[in-house]
Structure 1
Amino acid sequence: MSNNTVSEGMVVSDVKTETSPLRASPSKKYFWYNCSPCCSEDHSNSLKTIVIVLFGTTGIITLALLTQVYYGEYQVQKSGTVASDSYECSNIGIDVLKAGGNAVDAGIATTFCLGVVNFHVTGIGGGGYFMLYNHKKHKVIDVIDFREVTPAAYNVESNEDLVDGLVVGVPGFVKGLWDAHEKYGKLPWKDLVTPASNLARNGFSISKSLISVISYIKPSPYNSNLVLLLNSLRQGKNVSLHELAATLDIIALKGADAFYNGSIAMDMVYTVKLANGSMSLQDVAQYDTSNGDVLRTQIGDYDVIVPGSSSGGALLLNYMDAIEMLDLKPDVDTSAEIVLKLSDTLHDAYLLFLQKVNGFVEQPEPVGSQVSVVDSEDNYVTITSGLNTWLGSQIMTSYGFILNNAVSNGGLNEERRPVSMASPIIVLQNSEFCGKRYILGSGDVAMAAQLLTNLLIFNRNVSSSIESPRFNIDNIPRHLRLEDHDPEFSVDAIVPLRQLMKIEKVLPPYKSINVIEKLIDSIKSYSDSRGGGRPAQF
């Protein structure tokens, strides 16, 4: 029976996941006291021999135990935790761990599930980033960039010319998760995809987030299937996605190749071309992932680690370096001063970023879905995926999945991947080997910067850092948009800000960030209430 405590989007485990066989040795005083009766002149040589043998043996045992702790196999009870925007999906990840899968397997299964229940945020028509860290080896094992790729025939002079199908990039979702599984997975691929296809077939409860997104839909001759689906939804009711279920069945049985070569690819290209896009079958067949580089910076006692490549990781590190230089003091600065300084810093860092990335176009709502997983082997997995914005391109294929609008970002790198605001994140306390570790990620690194400011600079706890009010910045023209989320920004913060800049409310749904915290052998999991999910643990 599980011994977990669940409270308000957080799971705390009392199951130890790391053990040390080391125990305190008797003190010198205690040892000498117990041996003193033997210390007559006649027995002095014998005592010396005993002491030497005992200390020598103790040293050998200690060295062996230290070697086991740092380099050997952990002698631990099987355990793990998953944090996502869906309790149903978090539990699917836990089921995978219980079946003998590792954190990579659980992350893949959870991400496929989110592509069903949160199809307005992520899915097989999108892309993303995968990062694997192993604390036993104390290093990042791999970064996989499965961001969408711009079609070869794409040739648009300005963003104003980007309409309908031209915004769609070749999806990387399936190939990215497939590559992660091929390298590091333990369970069969089919076992990781089938739970999502069953959920799509049998039905799932419609979330508040999905209902909120309906207002974002823009009538178009190319999204009639999607409009019909969304208009039929009612919060709290169940919906089945039979076409998507059948598509996932094919992917589960035949692997990633079934998505990039065959009828699914042909239908995707046909759908994009009907919407005046330029995607070809060759574009789809030639899609491949990229092994991203690893970037890091130090904030106080913490190392912040992110992928580079097309992700928003580099921008996040720029944000955090600039914020640390502000020397903010929450016990001295007013709420308005903190928000103003943070927004100024994020705005300035963003403008510097724009100067370095040719052709990047700011998106009003960069979003993504994020999964954090920790297993008993001390593997940490964070996967950030998405359609780029709410509902992506708003074009749905006849195979039941929505296509991304990643190309609208511009700023193509050498691999023709558009720049993204999304990034997985690993944070490590560098002063201690088993100090605090945070596994998280975000579809918008501006949101992650605000959370990390609370966590690493203001030293707030994880729950408070996640749930604290956040703001969006529209950089050009500049104004702030505040979440209408509980807790809200205080009146003392808002009134002075209104005198300095335009202030608006952010329309729901709000962007979520899910976090796992580990300290020595204690694990705490948190799902952001904005996402409507809950973590799961065993």
Structure 2
Amino acid sequence: MSRSSSGGGRSSHRSTSAAGDDHHDDRGLGAAAAETHNERASLIASSSSSSSSGVVTIAPDSGSRRRPPRGSTASSSSSSFVSRLFQFSRRKVFALLLVLAVILAVVGGLGYFSSSSSSSQPIQFQGHGAVAADSTYCSEIGADILRQNGSAVDAAIASLLCIGVVNSHSSGIGGGGFMVVHTNDTDVVIDFREVAPAAAYVDMFKNSSQLSQVGGLSAGVPGELAGMAKAHEMFGILPWAKLFAPAIKLAREGFVLNEHQAAAITSELTYVRADPGLRAVFIKANGDPLAAGDVCIHANLANTLEAVATNGIDIFYNGSIAHQIVDDINANGGNMTYEDFANYRPVIRQPLVASYNGFKLVTAPPPASGGVTISVLNILDGFVTAQTKAQETARRHLYSEQTEPGPMQPRSLLAVQRTTEAFKFGYALRTRIADPFDTEYADDIAATLAEMQNVTEALNKRFRIHDNETFDPEYYGAIYDVEPTRGTTHLSVLGTRGDAVAVTSTINTYFGAKFTSPSNGVILNDEMDDFSSPNITNAYGVPPSPANFIKPGKRPLSSSAPTIVFNAKNEVYMVVGASGGTRITTSTIQVMQSVLTFGEGIDDAITRPRLHHQLLPNILMLEPAFPTNLYTGMQAIGHNVTTSTSIAVVQGIVQYAPNVIYAKSDPRKGGEAVVF
């Protein structure tokens, strides 16, 4: 097993900005490795066919650095060796790799090596599955479930439960989300988004918008556990309780905070100190917040997870835990009832299916934003297919002729301008979609969704993109405004049976409603803030979207866009998605474009600097590592340009051919992916 390094604050890693430099061409371990890739892959396959593929399970402990199991090479311990190795001649390289391959086969290890640099592309000899989470603990837990013959859904559930412990500020069983599932005979979306309680009403926040972000009134009925249970019922293999065990162990025994997690605590320190439940977990006895390197323990949450593992979700939605949470929500100003919990059901939806550059995309429909992804890619597709080089790159990908990543490609000012303008058209359409549960707007939502998927409509929008000019929001068709979304986590899983899962989960803003149900450790979401409210016109004179107004039982609009991509043989080619609120969709699109259009490796595609434009506000955001000429060039065209230190967090997996797998966890959040 190997882990694809993503930074994680380790001193030996390059900074994110350096890793994302547009002109950096890093194809992993060097040109010599690429030249002998096929020979080595064949050698490893033949050598390992007679040995077991068992890899010792890594049990997460309290250390931020863990000793790799026998037969595997962790990135932190292999980088210096590998860098020295490739200073030799090509013949010596191959000879040493031959010896190393035999050693790996004998001890049962199958994997790839990766440099400790956050932008280096690991060379993959052979792999059976992969998990890319925004926590190393959780990637390892998911991979271990796959090793135990679990399905991709099993791995996703175990990893999500882990994320709800280690990144509880972003995700957890007090929230909800969307899961795209592929098996050999079906593609389906499980919508476990939070819903408005029965007592909710359209202008419930007219006197204080703060109430939609903090306190019991901001919480929707959580759907996370109900979604997991439905997924397990449909696609699970391993016992339900087995999937909970690693997260329970982490919550009870503790885990080491990284810099991102510590920064999240600091950013909401006033609220964390004010809430007894949050304070008990994240504040030390001396009053200081937990810092990077400290051990964090969720004792009450461990008890709750153990109860659900033993008794199933009924105890959470109909039993004692439901009563505890409802009472705590209402004690904090909420309007929840026991019936709200008892009546919660996930929704099984048909995925949106589209093509881009010859690939098939399967993504999540409203109230998720997979339609925005399709709309923007449809617009960009016409620009791409006019380029002979891009056509050839796409053809090689499509028919699985590319067996390893290509180099990072520099972006031109023209490409950045066209991408930005396509984003603005896509986000204009986003203002007209919402939960189709609301029958009053269901027809309008369906019409907008059809427009998003219509290639002729995309062509019309493409013709309206000017290479040297930008316009005010109304030019792009913004009829309404919608609330910006925040937070979230994303997880990508490639199973060993050809199955795959892309799942995005959230409690919305950091620490959700800013309070924990004290008796059970559940951090509640503030998802009611994702609804629009009437009579609140934004700074551009655009009114709120009535399709996204609050109604009992309704789910708020989400920026989530979990996506699975297939090649021409209908094999899983890519599993991808992002966290980061409204920036999710633009970041997912850019990574997909880099891989599917320009042939870049998933490592470079994720670490390269990104841009974001959501039309409203009419601001173009660029990460600091963007070249100066692109920054000033976009200003000269007329864009209002600003910098943002982190534009979303993407987790991706690419499978070039059976058992040739690359995975990457975004260094912006400090996790590591696992391929085994």
Using the size of structure 2 for normalisation, the TM-score is 0.64
Aligned to 1:105: 154
Once structures 1 and 2 are overlaid, which stretch shifts more, 118-127 or 8-17? 8-17
Q: Does 1:512 align with 2:650?
A: yes
Aligned to 1:169: 220
Aligned to 2:378: 321
Distance 1:169 1:434, change over 3 A: closer
1:457 paired residue among 597, 605, 611:
597
- Taking the aligned partners of 1:162 and 1:89, their CA distance within structure 2 comes to 28
Aligned to 1:203: 254
- Taking the aligned partners of 2:558 and 2:281, their CA distance within structure 1 comes to 28
2:355 paired residue among 286, 290, 298:
298
Q: Does 1:213 align with 2:270?
A: no
Aligned to 1:83: 132
- Deviation per CA, 1:463-513, whole angstroms, max 9, x where unpaired? 2211111123353331123334xxx11111112334533333325584233
- Deviation per CA, 1:385-410, whole angstroms, max 9, x where unpaired? 11123322222211212111222111
1:3 maps to amino acid: L
Distance 1:518 1:390, change over 3 A: farther
- What's the CA shift for 1:241? 1.1
Distance 1:227 1:202, change over 3 A: closer
1:422 maps to amino acid: S
Q: Does 1:381 align with 2:381?
A: no
Name structure 1 gaps, 5 residues minimum. Answer: 18-78
Q: 1:373·1:516 contact (CA, 8 Å) conserved in 2?
A: no
The SS at the match of 2:376 is helix
Distance 1:6 1:362, change over 3 A: farther
Q: Does 1:121 align with 2:170?
A: yes
Distance 1:509 1:88, change over 3 A: farther
Calculate the aligned-residue CA RMSD, in Å: 3.0
Q: 1:97·1:375 contact (CA, 8 Å) conserved in 2?
A: yes
The SS at the match of 2:668 is helix
Q: 1:164·1:222 contact (CA, 8 Å) conserved in 2?
A: no
- What's the CA shift for 1:426? 0.6
Distance 1:149 1:206, change over 3 A: same
Aligned to 1:396: 516
Distance 1:242 1:331, change over 3 A: farther
Q: Does 1:5 align with 2:116?
A: no
Once structures 1 and 2 are overlaid, which stretch shifts more, 174-183 or 452-461? 452-461
Normalized per residue, the structure richer in strand is: 1
1:355 paired residue among 432, 437, 458:
432
Q: Does 1:249 align with 2:306?
A: yes
Higher gyration radius (CA): 1
Aligned to 2:617: 477
- Taking the aligned partners of 2:644 and 2:386, their CA distance within structure 1 comes to 27
Distance 1:507 1:442, change over 3 A: closer
- Taking the aligned partners of 2:133 and 2:187, their CA distance within structure 1 comes to 22
Aligned to 2:487: 367
Distance 1:356 1:375, change over 3 A: closer
Aligned to 2:337: 280
The SS at the match of 1:530 is coil
Using the size of structure 1 for normalisation, the TM-score is 0.79
Aligned to 1:66: none
Q: Does 1:94 align with 2:143?
A: yes
Q: 1:126·1:148 contact (CA, 8 Å) conserved in 2?
A: yes
Structure 1 segment 138-149 matched on structure 2, within 5 A: 139-149=185-195
- Taking the aligned partners of 2:359 and 2:385, their CA distance within structure 1 comes to 17
- Deviation per CA, 1:75-120, whole angstroms, max 9, x where unpaired? xxxx422111122111111222222322221111111001111111
1:188 paired residue among 239, 259, 262:
239
Distance 1:509 1:323, change over 3 A: closer
- What's the CA shift for 1:434? 4.8
- Taking the aligned partners of 1:274 and 1:125, their CA distance within structure 2 comes to 17
The SS at the match of 2:501 is strand
- What's the CA shift for 1:518? 4.1
2:326 paired residue among 261, 264, 269:
269
Q: 1:81·1:536 contact (CA, 8 Å) conserved in 2?
A: yes
Aligned to 1:339: 416
1:491 paired residue among 596, 615, 628:
628
Q: Does 1:427 align with 2:565?
A: yes
Q: 1:361·1:408 contact (CA, 8 Å) conserved in 2?
A: no
Q: 1:213·1:509 contact (CA, 8 Å) conserved in 2?
A: no
Distance 1:252 1:417, change over 3 A: same
- Deviation per CA, 1:175-195, whole angstroms, max 9, x where unpaired? 111111122211111110121
- What's the CA shift for 1:313? 1.2
Aligned to 1:37: none
Aligned to 1:445: 585
The SS at the match of 1:143 is strand
The SS at the match of 1:121 is coil
- Taking the aligned partners of 1:248 and 1:435, their CA distance within structure 2 comes to 32
The SS at the match of 2:613 is strand
Distance 1:5 1:296, change over 3 A: same
- What's the CA shift for 1:12? 6.2
Aligned residues: 468
Distance 1:415 1:324, change over 3 A: farther
- Deviation per CA, 1:48-96, whole angstroms, max 9, x where unpaired? xxxxxxxxxxxxxxxxxxxxxxxxxxxxxxx422111122111111222
The SS at the match of 1:110 is helix
- Deviation per CA, 1:254-278, whole angstroms, max 9, x where unpaired? 1111111222212221222233222
- Taking the aligned partners of 1:435 and 1:513, their CA distance within structure 2 comes to 16
Q: 1:428·1:435 contact (CA, 8 Å) conserved in 2?
A: yes
